[in-house]
Structure 1
Amino acid sequence: MSFRSEKILSLAGVDFNHSKEDDLIAQFNKYLKNGMHGICFSSYLDGQEPGSIITAEQIQERIEIIKPYTKWIRTFSCTDGNELIPVIAKENGLKVMVGAWLSDDKELNEKEVVNLIKVAKAGDADLVAVGNEVLYREELNEEELLGYIRQVKKALPGIEVGYVDAYYEFVNRPAITEACDVIFANCYSFWEGCHIDYSHVYMQNMYFQAVRAANGKRVIISETGWPNVGTAFEGAEPNTENALRYFINTQKWSREENIELMYFSSFDESWKVGAEGDVGAYWGLWDKHGKLKYQK
């Protein structure tokens, strides 16, 4: 077999044809115990949602669960107690990609940005993300977002600042790509309706589109994952086998190719059914009570 053929097979991922669920769970636990590069973190307990006030105690409780398995965490907000996550994570030996949540609420945006800058100036941010999919949601326009990115970059010289959105936004919006020090690309085969058999190559294609658009800048996959329960989205079916296969392929590739990747997500979150339908509640590696979902 040629090197090129071997490389193509490697990109296609693991051959799962003869893998039973117990085999997949064993592989999942092997990769989990070997450690992920990063994971998207939420400390919301069941019954909480954005706008709920979170406490240092619940943050510490959730950090304790995940910290043996990851080097980095990614946060999404710097208000309502979320601004406490980075300092607690750093105290527990984790690196942090700190996010400010932006929306069409300009008053709340200012609070998010002020707190983000405060967290970073205190030394509790290794990377900074100004906004998450706010262009995708059409809640800010490009010039408004650029204003926030420039504000944060001016306040935080020496810290890499970026923006999180779907990979294609960085292809289609060169001004945003140019303004970022680092590109945070969300790459979801599931949400593009891809069958699990092709999901790994499909996700890699998303990543490499962002890499080409980045023109040499650092590119981090800021979100990718697969739910284990819910309604199928076109060819993408949420179930335990597919969630395990996607995780295994993603972690293997990330480790072998040194891809920086924040897996989505740490814990199941019931509140997300409102925005994403029934699958929204089942993206976690741990359930809503903090129990690891995939065990023999």
Structure 2
Amino acid sequence: MKTGIFAITAISLLSAASALPQPYRVQNEKRAAVTNYVAVDVPKILVWVDQNGKPVSTQTKGQVSTYAVPQETAITKPPPKKDPVKKAEPPASPPPKPAVAVGANVGVEINAPKIPFPNPLAPFSGPKPTKEAAPTSAPSSNGISPPTKGLGVCYAPYKGDGGCKSKQEIDDDFSKLDGYNVVRFYGVDCNQVPNIISAAKKHNKQVFAGIFDIKDLDNNLKKFIDGAKSSWSTVATVSIGNELVNGGQASVGDVVNAVNKARSILRGAGYQGPVVTVDTFNALIANPELCKASDYCAANCHAFFDPNTDASRAGEFVKKQAKLVSDAAGKKTVITESGWPKSGQANGKAIPSQENQQLAVQSLKAAFGNDDEAGLFLFSAFDDSWKKDNGGTFGAEKFWGILP
């Protein structure tokens, strides 16, 4: 029996990879993400069939090749999940089967039409995710829950000149944080661990503690553990690193290893709560390993840096990104930073002002208000006059404070 052959030329797809911004500093700088596109040419596949069209064997010709295509800059939507070739939509009209005459040796080569890859820069107001997508409220794989109920706020214990605030000054700040149940801080310098935990106890709050520098992880963990003095009931979460992958300061593997090591050391010290790493929403979507190493997904997301989103839609934008992070990792996502500056330069539709800050905060609270757990930390409690502006933050770096 003779067989016929036909060849299907595989589809070239565009895969988007989010190029990460310039190094992130402890001052919490933000920048627009840059998306680089790479075209992937897949080898030609020959499929041998009999006269009835039934596949008999396959043969591969050619090699995989890649080449760069022009890049665009925006952050309106994070990059697609990995392995886009497997997840591409089929063509609207699939190519017809080759005609095979009985007893004849027929060879037909079919070039499949190119399918445009979904544009990752499109506005997020497009089609809603399918029902099969993992819900935002997906539990963490190890059963450890995110912070306790209530709204969180971010806090930095530094004076305007960059010096350390005293224990009394920190206590005075905490007295103004009514309405916030969990307070996030970022490091172990300035004796802030014992001073902040002391203020949190006095004002009936919990803390989301941070260890920013993973290059000296052992010493920083020791400072944190010594400063906490076994007040573990006050510690809602410990974060290892903040936007280190997004800022290019550490690799995914380095951060994952640091999280696992820190969790082991903290468990030995008596802390049994969540241990996470915090990064930007687009870095977490591109690298779900960061979420999987964490006890839940901890994402920073600021609608202000999307030029297509105004203040009144900040909550809608951020909630959308939280959903995408959870879809990528299959875990609950907590937004560990989100806010709006009250001064600075406009970024398209995102305009800094006192009124717009209030609109954005109201929008964020409305979007996350029905969550059973603290799914949102507003950024930040007070203006940070100690920070330095740069070209990527629209002159707004110092003006994110919600309280006077």
TM-score normalised according to structure 1 size: 0.76
Matched AA of 2:321: M
Q: Separation in 1 of the partners of 2:224 and 2:204?
A: 20
> Deviations 1:24-47 (Å, cap 9, x if unpaired)?
xxxxxxxxxxx9611011222222
Match of 1:102 in 2: 213
Q: After TM superposition, where is structure 1 displaced by more than 4 Å over at least 4 residues in a row?
A: none
| Structure 2: 5+ residue stretches without partners | 1-124, 129-148
CA-CA distance at 1:54 after TM superposition: 3.1
In the alignment, which of 67, 73, 90 is matched to residue 201 of structure 2? 90
CA gap 1:54/1:204 in 2 versus in 1, 3 angstroms: same
In the alignment, which of 293, 311, 316 is matched to residue 179 of structure 1? 293
CA gap 1:209/1:72 in 2 versus in 1, 3 angstroms: same
Match of 1:24 in 2: none
3-state SS of paired residue (1:271):
coil
Q: How does 1:235-254 map to 2 (within 5 A)?
A: 235-254=349-368
Q: Separation in 1 of the partners of 2:150 and 2:356?
A: 19
3-state SS of paired residue (1:155):
helix
Is 2:341 the counterpart of 1:223? no
Match of 1:141 in 2: 251
Matched AA of 1:151: K
Question: What's the % identity of the aligned pairs?
Answer: 21
Moved more, 90-99 or 52-61: 52-61
Matched AA of 1:43: P
Per residue, is there more strand in 1 or in 2? 2
The structure that has the greater radius of gyration is: 2
Match of 1:29 in 2: none
Q: Separation in 1 of the partners of 2:220 and 2:346?
A: 35
Q: Separation in 1 of the partners of 2:293 and 2:174?
A: 32
Q: How does 1:185-224 map to 2 (within 5 A)?
A: 185-196=299-310, 197-215=312-330, 217-224=331-338
Q: Separation in 2 of the partners of 1:154 and 1:160?
A: 12
CA-CA distance at 1:91 after TM superposition: 2.7
Match of 1:77 in 2: 187
Q: Separation in 2 of the partners of 1:144 and 1:87?
A: 32
Match of 1:62 in 2: 173
CA-CA distance at 1:237 after TM superposition: 0.9
Matched AA of 1:204: K
In the alignment, which of 133, 136, 152 is matched to residue 38 of structure 1? 152
Q: Separation in 2 of the partners of 1:262 and 1:234?
A: 25
TM-score normalised according to structure 2 size: 0.57
CA gap 1:277/1:113 in 2 versus in 1, 3 angstroms: farther
CA contact (8 A) 1:117 1:155 kept: no
> Deviations 1:213-234 (Å, cap 9, x if unpaired)?
231x332110000001111123
In the alignment, which of 270, 274, 281 is matched to residue 398 of structure 2? 281
Aligned residue pairs total 247
| Structure 1: 5+ residue stretches without partners | 1-7, 12-34, 292-296
3-state SS of paired residue (2:176):
helix
In the alignment, which of 219, 229, 238 is matched to residue 111 of structure 1? 219
CA contact (8 A) 2:313 2:360 kept: no
Q: Separation in 2 of the partners of 1:254 and 1:62?
A: 25
